[in-house]
Amino acid sequence: MAEKKFEKAMERLEEIVQNLEGSDLPLEDALKAFEEGMKLAKFCSLKLEETEKKVTLLIEESAGSHTQVPFETEEEQDDE
């Protein structure tokens, strides 16, 4: 269920960004859209952090004990 909410939030955030970039919204409407976008961005960021922590905790060493290994994104891997 959380994935669906995350996906819907990301879709809506993309719509908001496109609307803010591509149209001449009245200032008040643009501000409302921006506020909604900031809330969605925060929600998505928190969900990604939660997921990253879960992935980190699920990585097992060969001995069977759990260890924390930092989760690297593709972007971070490209920087190395």
Mean pLDDT calculated for residue range 45-52: 91
Domain range enclosing 9: 2-79
DSSP 8-66: HHHHHHHHHHHHHHHS---HHHHHHHHHHHHHHHHHHHHHHHHHHHHHHHH-B-TTS-B
Q: How many domains does the chain have?
A: 1
| CATH number of the domain enclosing 40 | 1.10.287
Q: Which two tokens stand for residue 2?
A: 């959380």
Q: Which two tokens stand for residue 60?
A: 């097992």
pLDDT band at 37 (very low <50, low <70, confident <90, very high): very high
Note the pLDDT tens digit of each residue in 7-27: 999 999 999 999 999 878 899
The predicted pLDDT at position 4 comes to 78
- φ and ψ of 66, to 5 deg: -85, 140
Averaged pLDDT of the chain: 81
The predicted pLDDT at position 80 comes to 54
